[in-house]
Each structure stands twice: as C-alpha cells, then as structure tokens.
Structure 1
Amino acid sequence: MHELRFGLTAPSQCNYLPLQQEQLVFLLPEQPLDDTLYQQLLKFNFRRSGEQVYTPHCPACRACESVRINPRDFKPSRSQRRLLHKATRAGWHYTLEQAAGSDYYPLFAEYIRHKHADGSMFPPAPEQLDGMLNCTWLNVKVLKQYQQQELVAVTIVDETAEVFSAVYTFFQPECSHYSPGILAILYLLQVSLAQHKNWLYLGYQIDSCQKMAYKAAFKPQQRFIQGQWHSFG
C-alpha cells in the first residue's frame, strides 16, 4: 500500500455507546480511491461511508471490532438452518444485482421511522440512502429479498475482486419475525461461496451493544482486535 494521508474528526457522542466519545480517522478526499485500495483498507478495520472510508479511533474506547467470515469455513447453526427453511416455505427468495436504477427510498424511510426513530438516522432523508448506494470508485450492489413477488428487504453490498462487504440492511418492519438481517448474511455467504470470494465483511461488532449481538452468532468468524485478526468459533 502506498503512502496515504489521513484526517481525524472532532470528538462527538458515540451512536452506539452513549457514555463514550467517538472519533474517526478518514482518508483525506484528495487521494484517489479504487476497489483495490479499499480491499486493503478493509483488512485494517476501515469501512465506507459515501465516497469516504473511515475507521474508529476513539480516545478511551476500542470496542468497535470489524467482523469477517470466510464463506468456505462457515457452517450455519441449527437456528440459522431453521430460519432458512422457514423463509423458503413462505416463498422467500433473493437476487443480487447492481445498485443503480431503482428507488428503494420508501422502504428505507419506513424502516428508519419504525426501527430507529431514536437513532442518529432519524428523520430519514434521501441523501442518507444515496450516500450508501452511490460511489464513483466502487462496484455497489444490492441484495434484494422477496416474499413471493413483493420486495421486503434490501441490503447494500460493496464488492471488490476478493470480498463482499455488507453496508446496511433495511426491510419492511412487519417482516421482522423472518429476521431479514440474518437472512441477508446467510444469503450473502451463499453468494460469496459461489463467486469464490475470500471474505464477507459484516461491519463492526460491539459486544455491549445489543443491536449488534446477532453478528456473534455467525461462526467461525474473525475479529480485528488491537491491530490483528483473531479467530472465534
């Protein structure tokens, strides 16, 4: 990796741990980004937000641990297999396609209003979704989940030559009992294996944040802890 220049944001309240202050290291925008560099940065705990990439660099906290799964090693648990069978019986199916050309905002807005009215993304705005879907230097795809013929869930997925990175999932709130977020990961692992990807990145895991607890159930997995990847499960 060639020499890169980074900036540091001012401290602000953490969205996940309210008693902590958050700071982010980000790649300065005048430097050219492409999928190869992004793939390298993913290995060092970075994520994408719009056109920028960042990693937490908080003064008194190291709780954010990037999670990745090797699709060749993953074995679904009994409960995950039951969920897949339940979804199949209900006529659930999925596609993975390019992100451009469809309007997912109504579904996104409904999800934010019902699921995250107390969070930093409320009230929803089209610019929030556009920033995740549109990136000039990266191939962004969407995993679309259907029940029968109805679109019920969308997962925004970054793709490079060797990896998929799950960015964000939103879904019809009334479909919560099918756990579309968990199904999205299971489906992405299927696609990752079929397309010979080395890793599926799931974003950050914070053990004390209940909203992220579901990621720990996907094993074996690796977590980026204090500058190194550690295996679990």
Structure 2
Amino acid sequence: MHELRFGLTAPAQCSYLPEQQEQLVFLLPEQPLDAGLYQQLLQLNFRRSGEQVYTPHCPACRACQSVRISHADFNASRSQRRLLHKAARDGWHYKLCDSASSDYFALFSAYINYKHHDSSMFPPTRSQLEAMLDCSWLTVRYLEQYHQQQLVAVSIVDDTADAFSAVYTFFHPDVQAYSPGLLAILYLIQCAAAQQKQWVYLGYQIDECRKMAYKAAFLPQQRFIQGQWHSFG
C-alpha cells in the first residue's frame, strides 16, 4: 500500500452510543483509489460511505468492530435454516445485479420513513440513496430480493476481488416478518461461495447497540479488535 494521507473529523455525539463521542479517520480526497486498495483498507477496519473511506477513531471508545464471515467456514444456525426454508416456501427469491433493475427510491423512502423517522436520515432524499449506489472507483452491485415477483428489498454491495462488503440494506415495511436483512446476509454468503469470494464484510458490530445484535448470530465470524482479526464461534 502506497503512502496515504488521512484526516480526522471533529468530535460529535455517537449515533449508536449517545453517551460516547465519535471521531472518524478518513482518507483525504483526490488520492488514487481503486478496488484493490479498498480491499486492503477493508482488512484494516475501514468502510465506504459514498466516495469517502473512513474508520472509527473515537477518543474513549473502541466499541466498533468490523465483522467478516468466510463462506467456507460459515455454519447456518437452526433458526437461519428455518428462515431460508420459510422464504423459499413462500415464493421468495433473490438475484445479484450488476446494475439497478429499477428506481429504488420509493422502496428506500418507505424504509426510511418506517425505520429511521427519528434519525439524521429523515426525511429520505435521492441524494442520500445515490451516494450509496454510486462509486467512481469501485464496482457496486445490488442484491435484490423478490416476494411473489415483487421487489421488496435491496442490499447495496461493494465488490472486490476477494470480498463482498455489505453497505446498506433497505426493504418494504410490509415484509419485515420475513427478516429481509437477515436473508440478505445469508444470500450474500451464498453469492460469495458461488463467485469464490473469501469474505463477506458486514460492517461494524457494537455489542452495546441493540440494533446491531443480529450480526453476532452469524458464526463463525472474525472481528477486527485492537489492530488484529480475532475468530469467534
């Protein structure tokens, strides 16, 4: 990895742990980025948001732990297998697309209005969505989930030579009972196996944050803690 220049954001209240102050280290703009370099940064606890690459660097907290799963080692739990069977029985299917098959904004809006009406993402805007969908230096793919031929969920997925990295999943509120966020991870692990990607990155896990508890159920997994990957499960 060639020499890179980084910046540090000012402290702000953490959106996941309100009692903590958040700071991010981010790659300064106008530096050459490509999928190969990003894959190396993924291995060092970085994530992508739009065109920007960042990692938490908080003054008094190290709760954010990047999570990744090897499809070769993953062992679906009984409840995860039941969920897959239920979805298949009820006409649920998915496809991994190289481009958006339709305009996702209505689905995205329904999700934000239902799930995040009290967050900084409300009200939903096209610019929010487009910042996640597009990246000039990286292949972005779209895991679409269908129920009875209707598009009900979309996951934005970064594609590198060795990994799929889940960026964001949104779905229609009417299908929440099918746990489309969990299905997205299970389907993405299947896609990684089919395309011979070693890893599926799930973003950050914060044990104290209830909204992120679902990631801990995918085992075995690795977490990036104090500069190293550690195995769990």
Q: Is the TM-score greater than 0.5?
A: yes
* Matches for 1:113-124 after TM superposition, within 5 Å: 113-124=113-124
C-alpha separation in 2, matches of 1:22 and 1:60: 9
Supply the AA of the counterpart residue of 1:7: G
Alignment of 1:1-233 (within 5 A): 1-100=1-100, 102-233=102-233
Structure 2 letter corresponding to 1:162:
D
Deviation at 1:100, TM superposition (A): 4.3
The structural deviation recorded for 1:140 is 0.2
After the TM superposition, which of the residue ranges 112-121 and 64-73 deviates more from structure 2?
112-121
Deviation of 1:103 (Å): 1.1
Quote the sequence identity (%). Answer: 74
Give how far 1:152 is off: 0.3
**Mapped partners of 1:53, 1:191: distance in 2:** 24
Q: Indicate conservation of the 8 Å contact 1:142/1:156, yes or no.
A: yes
Letter in 1 for 2:107: L
TM-fit CA distance, 1:99: 3.2
State the shift of 1:101 in Å. Answer: 5.9
Task: Name the amino acid aligned to 2:52.
Answer: Q
Show CA shifts across 1:1-20 (max 9, x none). 11110000111111111111
Q: After the TM superposition, which segments of 4 or more aligned residues of structure 1 sit over 6 Å from their partners?
A: none
| TM-score, normalised relative to structure 1 | 0.99
What amino acid is aligned across from residue 165 of structure 1 in structure 2? S
CA distance in structure 2 between the partners assigned to 1:214 and 1:119 by the alignment: 20
Structure 1, unpaired ranges of 5+:
none
> What's the secondary structure of 1:73's corresponding residue?
coil
User: CA–CA distance in 2 between the matches of 1:128 and 1:19?
Assistant: 26
Amino acid at match of 1:139: T
CA RMSD of aligned residues (A): 0.8
SS for the counterpart of 2:29 is coil
Distance in 1 (CA, whole Å) between partners of 2:182 and 2:99 is 20
State the alpha-carbon separation in 2 of the partners of residues 224 and 30 from structure 1: 28
2: CA distance between counterparts of 1:185 and 1:47? 17
Question: Partner of 2:144: helix, strand, or coil?
Answer: strand
Secondary structure of the corresponding residue to residue 40 of structure 1: helix
Q: Provide the rounded CA distance (Å) in 1 between the counterparts of 2:100 and 2:2.
A: 31
Contact 1:146 1:152 in 2 (8 A): yes
Distance 2:214 2:105 in 1: 25
Secondary structure at the counterpart of residue 136 of structure 1: coil
Instruction: Give the conservation status (yes or no) of the 8 Å contact 1:99–1:133.
Output: no
What is the CA–CA distance in structure 1 between the aligned matches of 2:188 and 2:225, rounded to whole Å? 24
* CA deviation profile, 1:184-233 (whole Å, cap 9, x unmatched): 00000001011110100000000010000000000000000011000000
- Equivalent pair of 1:156/1:167 in contact (CA under 8 Å): yes
Q: After alignment, is 29-38 or 96-105 more displaced? A: 96-105
